[in-house]
Chains A and B, each alone.
Chain A
Amino acid sequence: MVKNKENSEDLDFWATNSEEGGWNISSTDEGSQKMNDEESEQQIKIQTGSDVVDDYFIEEETSEDERMIVNMGPQHPSTHGVLRLQVELEGEAVRRVKPIIGYLHTGMEKTGEELTYLQGPTNTTRMDYLSPFFNELVFSLTTEKLLDIEVPARAETIRILMTELNRVSSHLVALATGGMDIGALSMMIFGFRERELVLNFFEKTTGLRMNHNYIRPGGVAADLPDNWQKDVKEILKIIPEKLKDYDEMLLDNPIWQGRLQNVGIITPEECLAYGITGPSLRASGQGWDLRKMQPYSGIEKFDFDVPVLQESDVFARWRIKVLEILESLKIVEQAMDNMPKGPYKIQDKKVTPPPRKRLDESMEALIHHFKIYTEGFKVPEGDAYVAVESPRGELGCYIVSDGSSKPFRMHVRGPSFCNLQALPIVMADSPIADAVAAIASLDPVIGDVDR
């Protein structure tokens, strides 16, 4: 061993530490385990994986016989639910895609016509199950627009606080499942771990982790719990730190960049033609955000930026979600610091049920309680469309009222439903391996697609 010490750099690790010591590796049957010296630095980088060359290209000349149709889904982990894609393949190239939806259709718009306005949020909250607060908010805002009432300042700020925290949790799932689809499995565990923090706060406030039915026409269901600032401060402290970890892991990672950059490009013109909104539109260079352009629920009072990226590829759509989480946390911090005092429900006896304590004391309160919970409050005739910026894009609600206590027609414009139309143009003429990345970047929630 002592004899060969000066040459130990040339030797493989296990060879130098073996009992036989000084055993020359080049004399084994398998030949030298060292890299060939003649190879250029570029080639060595490619071999070690620190540089990725995208050498895949699609040959244009293939006959019709080589095309085959493959069904992807409905039961497939990368389709984020029960989305079925009929993919026409030519070798490994995707030529045509047809999304087939409806596997999760439960007739929620029909159900919405049979529920009173107070029961409505229990239905809409189940549509986009990753951002339930937005669904409740848009239904409540539409009802309030028809009723022509304004909720108290505290209710508005609580709504902003909860929806922006919801945007954080929803984007964290998008980052997590997006990472999982591409193969960054640790990203999946990290994303769900951080989301747990936010969900714990939701559970403390609303009683449920999902499908809260917390935002209702006329305000919110309950006030924030005692010491809620402590939980929000913890979220504000931990999530930015963890986002830095994600960036360290992925931002300059050559494999991540090689998989995502210049993949699944949606041009701004395609975005406009297909009605694609939300992060996908902002990653294509259009600075359109309803929170800035058509503010709702008093969000114009908050100071935040709208991140816009020009690349329009899957990488930009991933990156913009990380940036949006940071902006949402800014809004949450301002909402926490400037939370107004006062009632969290509108003080209108026709809309808000009386508190439980009053029922024992007042006959009038008992009558109102009974009327609101059995018959519901009546909404004047008319129709209204209100849109909010959900984590996936424009979430709109169109309600037609005939003057009764139930909506005559309730329609929800789900952003995932519309964004799904972009799949054929994103996936066409790309390798099938990139198809999964493209689906993940559009972040469809099937509950929102099928309703």
Chain B
Amino acid sequence: MNEVQHIEVNEYHDYIKSLLEEGYEMMMDLTAVDWFRKKEPRFEVVINLLSLSKNLRKTIKVQVPDENLTIPSITDIYPGANFYEREVFDMFGIVFENHPELTRILMPDDWIGHPLRKDYGSGRIPVQFKNAPSVD
């Protein structure tokens, strides 16, 4: 029911387009995985498509090249990818080419760093509690 397909970056956009014509009407999920020091290249974008008519799912995995971290946007094929691509840009710093409005979505606009990367420590920003004794 769930088929996994690996695809190259330069074929990615056309392949997604051909899947829409094949009957995968909905894009359910788009996310990324940071394989820091585990795999080369480092980032992998995972797309989950759903076909209502055939009751099928398809997972597409794309390796993002390390040199420029750029991958074509699929918002022109699935408009619903808009928020997901912004989220991946925000959290991983992967740039989506030809995206209508590629800005941070969850973090503040002036935030530095991409939180879901593996080299971004979760306790990086100290939390200030009211009336807490100061720690040197």
Contacts and interface: CB of A to CB of B under 8 A. Distances in A.
B116 A109 contact: yes
Interface stretch (B7-15, B22-30, B65-73, B128-136): B22-30
Interface size class of B (residues with CB under 8 A): 20 to 34
Contact of B25 (A101, A272, A385, A398): A272
Interface string A372-388: 00000000000101010
Given A105-B106, A409-B34, A293 B55 contact: yes
A299 interface: no
B25 A107 contact: no
Nearest to B34: A409
A350 to B, nearest CB: 25
Interface residues of A, number: 36
Contacts of A413: 28-29, 31, 48
A373 B116 CA distance: 26
A402 interface: yes
A286 B122 CA distance: 42
A409 B91 CA distance: 12
Nearest to B90: A102
Contact of A102 (B26, B33, B108): B108
Contact of B83 (A400, A408, A418): A418
Interface centre among B2, B31, B55, B57 (most CB of A within 10 A): B31
A274 B80 contact: yes
Contacts of A109: 91, 116
B34 A275 contact: no
A421 B80 contact: yes
Interface string A413-431: 1000110110000000000
Contacts of A408: 33
Contacts of A294: 1, 55
A411 interface: yes
Contacts of B19: none
B48 A409 contact: no
Given A286-B52, A417-B83, A275 B78 contact: yes
Interface centre among A276, A396, A418 (most CB of B within 10 A): A418
Interface of A: 101-102, 105, 107, 109-111, 114, 272-277, 286, 288, 293-294, 383, 385, 387, 394, 396, 398, 400, 402, 408-409, 411, 413, 417-418, 420-421, 450-451
